[in-house]
Structure 1
Amino acid sequence: MRIKEILDERKMTQKELAAASGLTEATISMLVKNKRDTVNRQHIAQVAKALDITDFNMLFKFN
């Protein structure tokens, strides 16, 4: 996931993203660190909405 890169580009903290998305700081941290084997689609939707991203592909790195 590219959340860390996007946060850096926007000069936004994980704490600010947590507040804007309604997710916990722990959840945001795990998403940023790619510590999840599976990702809750609702969490991705909340992050995308908080970051004003309409194309979910922007949140992911594809090799």
Structure 2
Amino acid sequence: MAKVVRVRPNLINILKERDMTQNQLSELSGVPQASISRFDKNERHEANILFSISKALNISIEDLFVEEQEDV
């Protein structure tokens, strides 16, 4: 059985861990709250949004995502 690695956004969990709201992140990053709200649902992300969010949270872009392995 083969394993497939999937990458999924993890922003909601990061915000919960930091006790931070989407509105607070929006103010810090300059990214509209609506874009932050949709972040974990989107499959594609614009580079400027990734950079702005990661800079505001002081984390790497890679940290905005988690890898999951699935059997196929």
Under a length normalisation based on structure 1, what TM-score does the superposition of the two structures give? 0.86
User: For the residues of structure 1 that align with 2:66 and 2:43, how far apart are their CA atoms?
Assistant: 15
Q: Which of 12, 17, 27 is the equivalent residue of 1:9?
A: 17
> Which stretches in structure 2 are left out of the alignment for 5+ residues?
1-8
> Which stretches in structure 1 are left out of the alignment for 5+ residues?
none
1:23 equivalent in alignment to 2:31: yes
Q: Which protein is richer in strand relative to its size? A: 2
Q: CA deviation at 1:18?
A: 0.6
SS of structure 1 residue aligned to 2:45: coil
Q: Which of 52, 62, 65 is the equivalent residue of 1:60?
A: 65
1:18-40 CA distance string (max 9 Å, x none) = 11000111011010xx2323110
User: For the residues of structure 1 that align with 2:11 and 2:47, how far apart are their CA atoms?
Assistant: 15
Under a length normalisation based on structure 2, what TM-score does the superposition of the two structures give? 0.76
Q: Which protein is richer in helix relative to its size? A: 1
Q: Sequence identity of aligned pairs in percent?
A: 33
Report the counterpart of residue 56 of structure 2 in structure 1. 50
Aligned pairs, number: 60
Structure 1 stretches of at least 4 aligned residues deviating more than 3 Å after TM superposition: none
